[in-house]
Amino acid sequence: MTVATQDLPRPTYTHLLSMTTQLGVYEHALLREPRVEHGYCTDDVARALAVMVREPLQTKELLRAREVYLRFLERAVTSTGAVHNRMDTAGQWEDEPETDDCWGRAVAGLGAVVRRASEKIVRGRAFSAFLNAAQGRSVDVRASAFAAIGAADVLAVRPDCATARDLLVDCLDRLPRGIGTTWQWPESRLRYANASLCQALIVGGEALRDVATQDQGLAQLGVLLEIETGPTGHLSLAGTNGRGPDEQGSLWDQQPIEAAAISSACLEALRITHDPKWASRVSQAWAWFSGDNDAATVMYDPTDGAGYDGLERHGRNENCGAESTLAALSTLQDVRTLKVMVS
């Protein structure tokens, strides 16, 4: 499966910017309107920061948004490494610091800036916040996977950073490695952002020069794609309740974050192995957003860059929250990167 370059829209950030204030990016939307009563969360701000720093054509509006997101994470990370997740519209934290998903996402977002930001001062700020967050550890598998990806990003440009290396080793130790005989996924069922576990092993193995870990990640990614590919060849993703070994056929509501995680992991697999089979899978993930999915429904609006919140049996959830919008935008960035890599 391929996507011709001329068929790809340029990413547009109109909707994301409409959800962004001087404090952060609103988590939820009712259709296109921000649901301000739900405030902001670190998970989405970290994802937004990673998307912003990958955009090659920066504008004043995008740079302002990037500054908002980076400042949010600088505030969210505490001196112990734990991270606040929820902020209200007055700019006050509503929770105690933790090391669950928001911690892993913060580490990943900061790592992306350390690796990709063009300005030294911005990279330095992100690195300082990363060093604080890297004091933390999580018992959660996905939080550890997200943090491992961020640590690998830091090591890509700061290979002598012992703090990043120690964090990466500890996070990789949290990840399941085995592949079974009948149900081959290493967890009892698929959950969410499953491919992030594979990506963490792939890029973590690369950063540590651990070929066995890298190969485990590649093998797990292959297993995941086999489970989440439907009989007609398009992605048929786990629903909001996941997928177990006895669940066959289409499940609902499929979440855009799952397609985005697949895209990101496959792009890294292609970069490292140069195996063209991974290129087709990046295109397949973008095709899911373009309507090649179980409900034959488009999940991204190229006019304003909004992503829809879930794929349903008879269409889609018309709300366009931050997570879904960022999932679509990051996948579009991936497939455009892919075209540069294979051209």
Residue 49 · residue 73 · CB < 8 Å? yes
182 and 170 in a common domain = no
Residue 221 · residue 269 · CB < 8 Å? yes
149 and 31 in a common domain = yes
In this structure, is residue 5 part of a structural domain? no
In this structure, is residue 217 part of a structural domain? yes
Reply yes or no: is the peptide bond before residue 301 cis, omega within 30 of 0. no
- pLDDT score at 342: 85
- pLDDT score at 7: 79
Please state the domain count of the chain.
Answer: 2
Exposure string (b/e) for 51-61, b if CB count within 10 Å is 16 or more? bbbbbeeeeee
316 and 186 in a common domain = yes
- What is the C-alpha to C-alpha distance for residues 83 and 73, in angstroms, rounded to an integer? 9
129 and 55 in a common domain = yes
In this structure, is residue 4 part of a structural domain? no
Q: What is the CATH number of the domain that holds 259?
A: 1.50.10.10
Q: Which long-range contacts (CB under 8 A, 24 or more apart) does 32-36 make?
A: 32/304, 32/306, 32/320, 36/89
Give the domain-ending residue among 174, 191, 207: 174
161 and 125 in a common domain = yes
120 and 269 in a common domain = no
107 and 81 in a common domain = yes
Identity at 27, one-letter amino acid code: E
Q: 217 has which bridge partners?
A: none
Q: 317 has which bridge partners?
A: 310
244 and 218 in a common domain = yes
Residue-by-residue pLDDT tens, the chain, 343 positions: 444 445 799 999 999 999 999 999 999 999 999 999 999 999 999 999 999 999 999 999 999 999 999 999 999 999 999 999 999 999 999 999 999 999 999 999 999 999 999 999 999 999 999 999 999 999 999 999 999 999 999 999 999 999 999 999 999 999 999 888 889 999 999 999 999 999 999 999 999 999 999 999 999 999 999 999 989 899 999 999 999 999 989 999 999 999 999 999 999 999 999 999 999 999 999 999 999 999 999 999 999 999 999 999 999 999 999 999 999 999 999 999 999 898 7
197 and 166 in a common domain = no
97 and 38 in a common domain = yes
- pLDDT score at 164: 98
- What is the C-alpha to C-alpha distance for residues 298 and 310, in angstroms, rounded to an integer? 11
Give the domain-ending residue among 174, 206, 232: 174
In this structure, is residue 291 part of a structural domain? yes
- What is the C-alpha to C-alpha distance for residues 47 and 58, in angstroms, rounded to an integer? 17
- Is the pTM higher than 0.85? The answer reads yes
Give the domain-ending residue among 127, 159, 174: 174
Range of the domain at 25: 10-174
- pLDDT score at 5: 46
In this structure, is residue 315 part of a structural domain? yes
- pLDDT score at 180: 80
CB atoms closer than 10 angstroms to residue 257: 22
155 and 257 in a common domain = no
Q: What letter does residue 340 receive in the DSSP assignment? A: H
115 and 44 in a common domain = yes
- pLDDT score at 156: 98
- pLDDT score at 181: 82
Q: Indicate the angle between helix axes 322-342 and 277-290, nearest 10 degrees.
A: 140
Q: How far apart are the first and last CA of the chain?
A: 16
- What is the C-alpha to C-alpha distance for residues 305 and 228, in angstroms, rounded to an integer? 25
